Structures are given as C-alpha cells and as structure tokens.
Amino acid sequence: MADANAISGLITEVAYNAAVIIIPTAIAMGAELLRRKLGTEKLRTLRNELETKKTLGIMAVRYVEQAYKDQHGQDKYDLAADWLASKARQHGLKLTADEVEALIESSIKALKEACSLEWSSPEGRA
C-alpha cells in the first residue's frame, strides 16, 4: 500500500509540475496569437481604408472634370477637395488637408498617365 501511495504522490507531483509549466505557456501562446490576430486585423483595416481613400480621390477628380468643365485651376481643385472631404466624412474617414491634396494630386497624375498610355497604344489611336 505504501508503494501505491508513493506512486500516487509521485504522479500527483509530476502532474502539478507539468501544469505549472504548461498553463503559463498556453496562456502566453494564446496572448501572442491574439496579439498577432489583432495586428493583422488592424493592418487589413488600414489597407482597406487607404484603398477607399484612393478610390474616393479618383472619383473626386473624375466628378469635377465632368461636372465643372467651365472651372479651371484652383477653383477646380477646391471643388474636388470639398467633394472628397464630404464623401470621406460620409464613409467615416478622416482626412487632413495634406491627405486631401496628396489624394487629388496622385489621382490627377494616375488619370493623366492612364490617358497617356491609352492614347500612345496602337489600340487607343484607332
């Protein structure tokens, strides 16, 4: 009976020691997985937000080009900036004045490059 009690005590001690090691390790691993998941979600959210801002920038430039053909220069820029800021607010996005300017300027450049490439291709001249 003494051997059975000794073996039982030894098994209990080994199980306790294993639990002392395994439980904190499992908690740490779970916390790390959660941290990585939240980081990935945050990155995905930022990427989606940036794509939405770029799309709104292109839309603002195209809209003003079509709707305000009689406007030029700063007036046209101001119209695009106002439209972009308004639509961004509607989508819950915050834009600084510098971001608005960068989005509009990059959109103008992208549209000019697209038109230039289309015009210079043999299919575009036909």
pLDDT digits (tens, 9 = 90+) for 67-77: 998 988 899 99
What would you measure as the largest C-alpha separation in the chain, in angstroms? 102
Domain range for 17 is 2-125
For the segment 85-117, what is each residue's pLDDT rounded down to a tens digit? 999 999 999 999 999 999 999 998 888 888 876
Which pTM was predicted?
A: 0.64
- What CA–CA distances, in Å, run from 68 to 61, 71, 72, 88, 94? 10, 5, 8, 20, 25
Indicate the number of domains in the chain: 1
Tally of CB atoms within 10 A around 91: 11
Residues 75, 105: Cα–Cα separation, whole Å? 14
